[in-house]
């Protein structure tokens, strides 16, 4: 049997290479289908990985609570338009909800920042030290401020990469220098490691962090002491995220004395939600393009079936001779199946090469990240093999079912 399989494969290759144009055209559908699958999946995987990296850059297992509208009737403020959340909410939340690992808070304003003769208008955030750990900020130089700094409302600042680029000369070390925020001098004690774009496309490195208390008292001039722009909380494990969200909602409703008929005066979001929207978009695209690829593979398979049916008819006499000299049905069946699978596998392999090239080209030209995983390539290969097997079965069966006498007599 091994000798038979080997020789049958050789015969198949010879027969196909004899008619290169025909074989090439037959394989085209498979080539396009597999190529599209490989390119699309790698673009989709790349997009997914990018989204995941972005979500991770915002901190994992993070719950964000934004203040909401204050009234349910009349003129309503938008999200974050009111002062329904404050620092004590965050501190109490941490005490009362054991699932929460930590809570933090922040308030932001876009303010002019000055260093010597340079100035920059950037978002200044008054935050708790816990906020920085929750959001997973790290430092390229210097370090964070402490709870003591917060308690004492010390004038220290952490600056993001974009701010550094705009306020400092290239090569100048920001740590130790003094910048002015709304004319208040702040000592820079840390430079934040760059995070790049957020999932929404904003520059996360265009940022200055100062202690929340300092911001409140010396920079923002807040009307309501203790009111925050947003609360942040983390859970130890990602599985607890949704339970924690429910508990936070319950806790805040009770704390804000909301009646059953009243809506929440806050909005809770998780990183998972944000990531999900992004992934959803790329998944929709992937599903759409994969279905196009599937149609292409189907058409490719039908092409293979068609050309094999032609081949069976053309070679009816040959099949008769083979049967006369002792080929059994399975021999004939195998011969045509191997021919079909050779077509589809060669097509699939070419498709994989084109797909990989296409994905690389997408990265180079469009700058989209692409990931070519070994699993995808193996799956595409096996799939093209299966297409050959499936669409070769009918013509092969037709050949094997021929009556030797009729086949020998066929003109």
Partner 1 sequence: MDSANGQPVSLIQCADLWKVYRLGDVEVQALRGLNLTIEQGEFVAIMGSSGSGKSTLMNMLGCLDQPTKGHYWLNGVDVAALRADELAEIRNRQIGFVFQSFNLIPRTSALENAQLPLFYRGLPLREQRALAAGALERVGLKGREEHYPTQLSGGQQQRVAIARALVTTPSLLLADEPTGNLDTESSREIMTILDRLNKEEGITVILVTHEPDIAAYAAREIVIKDGQVLTDRRTKPEHPPSLMGH
Site string for partner 1, 239-278 (x = CB under 8 A): ----------------------------------------
Taking CB under 8 A as the binding criterion, the range among 46-54, 158-166, 322-330, 341-349 that sits at the site for partner 1 is: 322-330
Residue 4 CB, shortest distance to partner 1, in Å, is 5
Q: 307-311: long-range contacts (C-beta < 8 A, 24 or more apart)?
A: 307/22, 307/23, 307/26, 307/343, 308/336, 308/339, 308/340, 308/391, 308/392, 308/395, 308/396, 309/394, 309/395, 309/398, 311/15, 311/336, 311/339, 311/395
Taking the C-alpha atoms of residue 93 and residue 100, their distance in angstroms, rounded to an integer, is 8
Binding residue count for partner 1, defined by CB under 8 A: 24
Structural contact between residues 12 and 345, judged by C-beta atoms closer than 8 angstroms: no
Which CB, 100 or 319, lies closer to partner 1? Answer: 319
Among 35, 320, 348, 395, binds partner 1 (CB under 8 A): 320
Q: Both tokens of residue 326?
A: 């002792």
Among 295, 328, 361, 364, binds partner 1 (CB under 8 A): 328
Among 318, 363, 368, 393, binds partner 1 (CB under 8 A): 318
* Binding to partner 1 in span 380-409, by CB under 8 A: 404-405, 408
Which CB, 390 or 410, lies closer to partner 1? Answer: 410
Which secondary-structure segment (H or E) carries 409?
A: helix 404-409
Structural contact between residues 402 and 320, judged by C-beta atoms closer than 8 angstroms: yes
Structural contact between residues 30 and 293, judged by C-beta atoms closer than 8 angstroms: no
| Using rule CB under 8 A, residue 4 touches partner 1 | yes
* Binding to partner 1 in span 331-370, by CB under 8 A: 331
Residues 6+ apart with CB under 8 A from 206: 122, 123, 160, 162, 163
Q: Both tokens of residue 90?
A: 């965050």
* Binding to partner 1 in span 15-54, by CB under 8 A: 18
Using alpha carbons, select from 133, 131, 130 the residue that is nearest to residue 108: 131
Taking the C-alpha atoms of residue 321 and residue 334, their distance in angstroms, rounded to an integer, is 16
Which CB, 316 or 362, lies closer to partner 1? Answer: 316
| Using rule CB under 8 A, residue 322 touches partner 1 | yes
Residue 319 CB, shortest distance to partner 1, in Å, is 10
Which CB, 261 or 314, lies closer to partner 1? Answer: 314
Q: Both tokens of residue 125?
A: 């955030």
Residue 7 CB, shortest distance to partner 1, in Å, is 6
Which CB, 1 or 365, lies closer to partner 1? Answer: 1
Taking the C-alpha atoms of residue 198 and residue 267, their distance in angstroms, rounded to an integer, is 20
CA distances from 78 to 36, 226, 259, 337 (A): 44, 20, 20, 66
Which CB, 325 or 365, lies closer to partner 1? Answer: 325
Taking the C-alpha atoms of residue 106 and residue 244, their distance in angstroms, rounded to an integer, is 20
Which CB, 180 or 329, lies closer to partner 1? Answer: 329
Taking CB under 8 A as the binding criterion, the range among 151-159, 255-263, 312-320, 342-350 that sits at the site for partner 1 is: 312-320
Which CB, 323 or 341, lies closer to partner 1? Answer: 323
Taking CB under 8 A as the binding criterion, the range among 4-12, 114-122, 355-363, 371-379 that sits at the site for partner 1 is: 4-12
Kindly list the residues in this chain that would bind partner 1 in the complex (CB under 8 A): 1, 3-4, 6-7, 14, 18, 317-318, 320-331, 404-405, 408
């Amino acid at each position: 049997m091994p000798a038979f399989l080997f020789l049958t494969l050789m015969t198949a290759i010879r027969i196909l290479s004899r008619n290169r144009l025909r074989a090439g055209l037959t394989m085209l559908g498979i080539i396009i289908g597999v190529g599209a699958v490989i390119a699309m999946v790698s673009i989709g995987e790349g997009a997914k990985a990018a989204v995941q990296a972005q979500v991770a850059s915002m901190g994992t297992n993070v719950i964000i609570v934004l203040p909401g509208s204050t009234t349910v009737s009349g003129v309503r403020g938008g999200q974050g338009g009111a002062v329904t959340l404050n620092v004590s909410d965050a501190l109490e939340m941490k005490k009362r909800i054991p699932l929460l690992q930590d809570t933090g808070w922040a308030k932001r304003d876009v303010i002019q920042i000055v260093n010597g003769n340079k100035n920059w208008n950037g978002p200044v955030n008054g935050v708790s030290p816990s906020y920085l750990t929750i959001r997973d900020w790290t430092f390229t130089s210097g370090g964070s401020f402490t709870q003591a700094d917060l308690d004492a409302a010390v004038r220290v600042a952490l600056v993001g990469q974009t701010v550094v680029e705009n306020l400092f000369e290239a090569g100048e070390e920001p740590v130790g220098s003094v910048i002015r925020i709304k004319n208040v001098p702040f000592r820079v004690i840390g430079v934040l490691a760059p995070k790049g774009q957020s999932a929404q496309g904003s520059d996360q490195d265009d940022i200055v962090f100062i202690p929340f208390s300092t911001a409140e008292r010396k920079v923002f001039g807040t009307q309501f002491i203790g009111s925050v722009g947003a609360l942040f909380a983390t859970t130890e494990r990602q599985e607890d995220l949704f339970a924690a969200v429910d508990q936070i909602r319950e806790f805040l409703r009770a704390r804000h004395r909301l009646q059953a008929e009243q809506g929440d005066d806050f909005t809770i979001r998780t990183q998972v939600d944000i990531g999900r929207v992004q992934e959803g978009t790329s998944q929709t695209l992937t599903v759409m393009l994969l279905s196009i690829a599937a149609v292409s593979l189907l058409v490719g398979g039908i092409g293979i079936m068609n050309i094999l049916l032609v081949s069976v008819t053309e070679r009816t006499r040959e099949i008769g001779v083979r049967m006369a000299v002792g080929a059994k049905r399975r021999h004939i069946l195998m011969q045509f199946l191997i021919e079909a699978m050779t077509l589809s596998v060669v097509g699939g392999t070419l498709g994989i090469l084109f797909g990989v090239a296409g994905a690389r080209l997408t990265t180079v030209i469009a700058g989209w990240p692409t990931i070519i995983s070994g699993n995808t390539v193996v799956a595409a290969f096996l799939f093209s093999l299966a297409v050959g097997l499936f669409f070769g079965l009918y013509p092969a069966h037709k050949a094997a079912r021929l009556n030797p006498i009729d086949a020998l007599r066929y003109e």
